[in-house]
Amino acid sequence: MPVAPLSFIKRFDEFRPKDDRKHIPKNTRGIYVLLNQEGNAFNVVYVGMAGGDKAGIHGRLNSHARSERKKEKWSHFSIFEMHDNITRETIQELEGLFRHIYRKDSQSLKLGIHKKFKGFRQIHKDLSNWKR
């Protein structure tokens, strides 16, 4: 049996125009990024996840495209499909990590929906309290 080259990510594509979301298979599980193209740059607008149980990345992108508040703020997307053995909780933790990183980024705050990842509350320690 061949070994996957990456532990979490099965396949990905990036910087795809918004209309290409129709090519994503239904129930695709993983992380997606909404992007806004400005010249040659692609600015992160939002990071999200889809567990694939009811609505995969395909459904989530369609929802963002229909949203009056969001549809004009992004022009492209990137998707990162997770391996089948990756749990929904692991996908949520990865999404939480990226959302946490971008939560104060001026570009990604345009939608105003990046919040702290709740799981980080339990493990946050001031660096001055770190011990080996």
Q: What is the CATH number of domain 9-115?
A: 3.40.1440
pTM of the predicted model, to two decimals?
0.82
Q: Which residue has the higher pLDDT, 14 or 53?
A: 14
Give the residue extent of every domain in the chain.
Answer: 9-115
- pLDDT digit string, tens, across residues 5-49: 888 899 999 999 999 999 999 889 999 999 999 999 999 888 899
Q: Sheet holding 76-82: strands in order across?
A: 9-17, 76-82, 30-38, 41-50
CA triple 108-110-111, angle to 5 deg: 95
Can you count the helices (H) and strands (E) in the chain? 2, 4
Q: Which residue has the higher pLDDT, 128 or 59?
A: 59
pLDDT recorded at residue 114: 52
